[in-house]
Structure formats: structure tokens, C-alpha cells
Amino acid sequence: MTASENTNVYDYVIIGAGSAGCVLANRLSEDENMSVLLLEAGPDDTKSEIHVPALMRCLWDSEVDWSYQTVPQQHACLALKDRCCNWNKGKVLGGSSSINMMQYVRGAKEDFDSWERLGAEGWSYDNVLPYFLKSENNTSEIHIATDYHSRGGMLTVSNNSPLNKYSEVILEAAEEIGFKIQDVNDCVDPVAFGYTQYTIKDGQRCSTAAAFLNPDTRARANLEIWTDAHVTKIVFDDKTARSVELFKNDEKVTVNVKGEVILSAGSVGSPQLLMLSGVGPRDQLESLGIPVLCDLPVGENLQDHVMTIMRCNANIEGRPQGVVSTTGVDVAGFTKTKEGSPWPEIQIIWCPDYYIYGGKEKTAWNFSDEFICRQSIFRLRSRDPMAYPIIDPHYLEDPDDVKRMIKVDIIELIPYINQEMTPTYFRFPNCPHEMDSDEYWEHVIRHVSLTLYHPVGTCKMGAKNDEAAVVDPTLRVRGLDNVRVVDASVMPHLTSGNTNAPTIMIAEKGSDLIKQDMKL
């Protein structure tokens, strides 16, 4: 193995070309006087399955997936092999936006207002809404007619088409038990059911790579994009980042930086790289023999959504409708299980499926509810940059979490779906409890639980004097001169829904913060 040094010096070195990194590369390279290097550990997004929405599951555990895995869980994921949950995260241009289910969900107004109350000044809903709108090119005339959507941005947001004909039945049932039916991105009053929208353009996935690294952007003379470039360390002179070390084509390469290093490697990659570079909890770094540059609580705020999948028989022969340009998921709902909760703790997703019984194909529905888990642990496994970190989300460790999932209104909704479908639950195998009892549902929830792939918070944003924060409201790493984190890891707490749209928003706002500082 040989070593070399890239003699170029870049104004911005962006580590990670995922949902945030692609946005940053586009926005920062708009200034032709600024040189930008975008580094991605995985390949370019040329794999054909990436662009076909219905083939998203073919991408998981493939060469474009980091395929992280949790440690064995004690209270959840009990039906999974070794009780370990796979954390599929994109290792490709576009990152997880190239392998996810493409749902465009922003969260609740209170999510962002609470960020600001926790010390993230400038990140209230009124502050971040313009950045959601900046990215968006919404193709729905109904959505454009509201104040919550826009047209003309780079990220195409569209309806699933054609809609599955049974989704309307579910919405009617939800309305029957008192839910509002509306745009699920009406963040002001989000407790509702509605059709979801997707980052799909002309029947193909619209990842951040497709949207923000379009041919015109890639042709900019001041932007370089390196794929298969695995960053292993940031090198500092005192508290100033001077270079980045990486492996590319089995060669060790050093890249020099004169402006800023921007970490956009995600909620696993960004904290791991900070700690490998000497920025993190002192006791953890010293135990691994890593010299401590800056003692910060990196990795200590990990949060995720835990999901339980349940299946009901729709008693209809034949497969559900659908084509390769759709995801199969049309309907989502948001609800609360705790009186006075400022935001919905539960998101419900309905997905058509089919099975074979008696030699005939029959339609079924998988429905899942998701709940925030906040007791997670993230630690380095070793000094080896190729070794995956230790991830222990402690899913459903708190008994109250399970009780609140059992209370969710989705169970009440089932009997009302009685027009074209007459659902009946499948009996969960080998369960000793009476069907439909609380004990039965707890058994189901603990066995078929898994992640919904929304880890955040490992580089928490907070006030400059907040000792629990890793970055300040300008996304600068506390105590360092020229390092920022711009991705989902900066979220002070998890949003109420999917995290791809908020991550893109963070990158849009982060780009402006960086540009403002450069002008100063």
C-alpha cells in the first residue's frame, strides 16, 4: 500500500455525499471562487436498482449499504437473528436518499420550536420552513395551493401514482374514528392521516445525488467529487483542521484544507470520525489510546424510531395494485398516546402485501407504528477506522414504551375497514397469550420490532455554553476552529416522522450559515 498527498488545497472538504453532503456540494460550489471537494466512501449512483422505486429492498445489504448492525437487544427485535437489528445506511452518492423508501415527511412544528428552546437559536419552525421550501419542487397542484409547499427547487416531491385503490378505504376508516384527513406535511397541526408524498421524479428515485449533483453541477470547475474515498482521520494543528486522511483505491491519500472541514457522514459516520480524530468523550478515547484533542459528548445523544410490523388479512384474492415506479406505501398517520404531548409520538404506515393460501394469491396489509427510543448507546469499537462502532439502541427497555405502543389508535381503526376489505389478524405463532390481549400485543411488539432507520442526535446541536452539545447553532464543533457537522446527527431530538426531508433542510440552512461566515 502506498501513500500520497493531493497537492491541491481546498476551501471546503465535505466528508460524506449523502442526503446532506450532496446539497452542501451544490450550494457551496455556487461561488466559483470557492474550491469544494466532496468525498464519498461508496461508489457513484450508477447501480440501476437505485433509480427504480419498487426495487429499494434490493439495495439493502448490498455493496451500496454500510449494513451497520446493533448489538443483541434484550427487550426488542426478539424474532431477528441473534436479536440484532440491521441499520441499513447508504454507502453511495446520495447516501440513504439513494436506498430509502423516499417518503417526504417533515415532522411537526413543535419539533423545531423545541430545538430552539433547547438552545438551537435560529432553528424554530418559522426559521426552517423557508429552507424546506427552497429545496422543494412539488408537482401536486393541491399541495402547491397551500403555504407549506413550493415549486422550482431542485428536489422533486410528488404523489405516489397510481394510488393503491384500498388506501382510500383506510383513510375513510381513520376519519370514522375521528382523525383529520390532510397533507401530512401540515406541520402546524400534524395529528392526522393522509396520503404521503415521495422524492420521485418521472417515475424514478429523486435522491439528493440525482437532484443536487445534476450534470451542470458536476461540470463546475471548482467542484471535485471523489467516490470510493473512505476518510479515516482529520488531522489538526492545535484546534485547526489542516488535512484529511483517506483511503482511495487502496492508496492512503492526504487532502489539505484551507477553509473548513464539513462532516456529513451521518449519525454513525460523523461521530465515529470525530472520535477517531480525538474529539469525543475523554474516558472513551483514552481507553482506546486515542489522544484527546477536545473532550465533547460525541455519540451520547443517539435516538431512533423503533417500529413494529403487524399484518392483517384483507380477504381479497390477487395481489395489490402497483408498478415499479411506486413504493407501495400510500398512507401515513400521526397520533399521540400521551395526553398533553406537544407532538405526535407515533407514526403509522400502511403497506399492501400479498401471500399464498390454498393455492391462491391473497392481499394482505402490513401496518407499522414507530416510537422514539432515547436510551441509546454509541461507542467506538476500536481505533481501527474500518471497524464498525458499537450501537445499542436499547429498544423498548422502558416498559412504558410498550404500553404506549399498545394504546395506539391503529388497533381501534381496524374494525372500521369494512367496505372493500374485512381484515382479520394473523395469529402470531407460538404466542402463549390470549389473542388481542395486552399481553398478546406486547409479545408481538417485542418480537417483530426493528428500526425505522432514523438515527439522529449523535453530534447534538445546542447553545454555545451547553455542555451536552457537540455543535453550536451555526453547526461549528465546539472548541474547534474550522470543523462543522451538517447532517442528521446535529438534531437535538428526533423529529416526529421520517428524517430525510429534515436532513436536507439542515444542509440548506447549513450552507447559508457557512456562506455568511465566509463573507464575514
Give yes or no for residue 174 having a pLDDT over 70. yes
| Higher-scoring residue by pLDDT: 370, 452 | 452
Give yes or no for residue 117 having a pLDDT over 60. yes
pLDDT for the residue numbered 309: 77
Give yes or no for residue 163 having a pLDDT over 70. no
Q: Give the CATH architecture of domain 3-48+208-272+282-302+456-519.
A: 3-Layer(bba) Sandwich (3.50)
Lowest mean pLDDT among 3-12, 255-264, 319-328, 486-495: 319-328
Please tell me what DSSP assigns to residue 203. Answer: T
> Rounded mean pLDDT of the chain?
89
Residue ranges covered by each domain of the chain: 3-48+208-272+282-302+456-519
99/95 Cα distance (integer angstroms): 7
Distances (CA, A) of 13 to 21, 235, 503: 10, 13, 19
230/228 Cα distance (integer angstroms): 6
pLDDT for the residue numbered 518: 85
pLDDT for the residue numbered 317: 54
pLDDT for the residue numbered 226: 98
Residue 403: name the closest of 437, 438, 369 by CA: 438
Decide if 454 is catalytic. yes
pLDDT for the residue numbered 365: 59
What are the pLDDT digits (tens) for 327-353? 767 888 888 877 777 788 888 887 766
Which whole number is the average pLDDT over 167-179? 84
Give yes or no for residue 410 having a pLDDT over 60. no
pLDDT for the residue numbered 371: 65
- Read off the pTM: 0.95
444/459 Cα distance (integer angstroms): 33
Contact 37, 285 (CB under 8 A): no
Please tell me what DSSP assigns to residue 343. Answer: S
Which whole number is the average pLDDT over 313-325? 58
Residue 499: name the closest of 466, 462, 464, 451 by CA: 451
pLDDT for the residue numbered 378: 96
pLDDT for the residue numbered 287: 97
Top mean-pLDDT range of 272-281, 308-317, 333-342: 272-281
